[in-house]
Amino acid sequence: TLDRESYRSTLEEYAFSSLVDGSPLQTLFLSLADRVQDFKGAVRGPHGAKEARQHWNSTVATLVSCGGDTARTKETLDSLAEALLTEGNIPGAHVCYIGARRMLERDDPASKIVLLGADHRSSKGRRTGFSSAACAFLTLMFDGSFKAKTDPVVSASLLPFMFSFAVSLVDNGELDMASSYCDLTLSTMQAYESA
């Protein structure tokens, strides 16, 4: 049997000697070897960043299916998300953050994920994404799926998007559904006020 340090060094040596920089398999091996810092270095290199950008979805699938729900896997996914944000791949970064179980954050330039599919850090992203009913709906569904069992109240940061989604429903003739969203927004606001 290999001791933990021998196991880690064997995985790391194989990852760097035999696997393509930034590839999904190299990423998995480095994550399993507790070498997230090495992954961060590889993904920042010119070839690694290109490989990670082109195959981010395979990397996420490999990490989530084989890496387990560990702190190492989450840290690796966070690192990949940062690389994707740098490359301007907002949807890819958001998928990585979801895989890392990062929750939605308040609207702040330092936040990582506010509204799915929208870049809250740029004025163009705010104009297009923050007015998108699709982004609002995806984010509401995401928030609800994580909180359904523990907290039925929608996150406070999503209240403006709930209202925005209700307006888009009115624009599409869905008055009853829009009214339901407005009622839900009001009851959520009242729940936050009384808490």
Q: What is the DSSP string of 104-136?
A: P--S-TT-S-SSTT--TTSHHHHHHHTT-HHHH
**Among 71, 102, 133, which residue terminates a domain?**
102
Residues 2 and 98 in one domain: yes
Q: What is the pLDDT of residues 122-174, one digit of tens each?
A: 666 555 555 666 777 777 776 666 665 566 566 676 777 777 778 878 888 88
Residues 74 and 110 in one domain: no
What is the reported pLDDT for 14?
92
What is the reported pLDDT for 132?
66
Q: Is pLDDT above 80 for 183? A: yes
Percentage, residues of the chain above pLDDT 90 = 2
Residues 6+ apart with CB under 8 A from 153: 147, 188, 191, 192
**Among 50, 84, 102, which residue terminates a domain?**
102
Residues 55 and 96 in one domain: yes
Residues 90 and 138 in one domain: no
Mean pLDDT of the chain: 76
Q: Which of 78, 44, 45 is nearest to 59 (CA)?
A: 78
- Which residue's entry shows tokens 């709906």? 137
Residues 48 and 114 in one domain: no
80 vs 127: CA distance, rounded Å: 26
**Among 68, 102, 136, which residue terminates a domain?**
102
Structure-model confidence comparison of residues 36 and 81, the more confident one: 81
Do 90 and 119 contact (CB within 8 A), yes or no?
Answer: yes
Do 101 and 74 contact (CB within 8 A), yes or no?
Answer: yes
Using only C-alpha atoms, what is the Rg of the chain? 20
The structural domain count of the chain equals 2
Q: Is pLDDT above 80 for 11? A: yes
182 vs 150: CA distance, rounded Å: 23
Residues 6+ apart with CB under 8 A from 61: 24
Residues 3 and 62 in one domain: yes
Residues 21 and 95 in one domain: yes
Residues 84 and 121 in one domain: no
Residues 136 and 53 in one domain: no
Q: Quote the pTM value.
A: 0.62
Residues 110 and 98 in one domain: no
Residue 94 is part of which domain span?
1-102
Residues 6+ apart with CB under 8 A from 59: 23, 24, 27, 52, 80
147 vs 33: CA distance, rounded Å: 32
Residues 94 and 110 in one domain: no
Q: Is pLDDT above 60 for 59? A: yes
185 vs 195: CA distance, rounded Å: 15
Residues 68 and 149 in one domain: no
Instruction: Read off the tokens for 68.
Output: 């387990």
- Which residue's entry shows tokens 């729900």? 69
Q: Which of 93, 78, 139, 77 is nearest to 114 (CA)?
A: 139
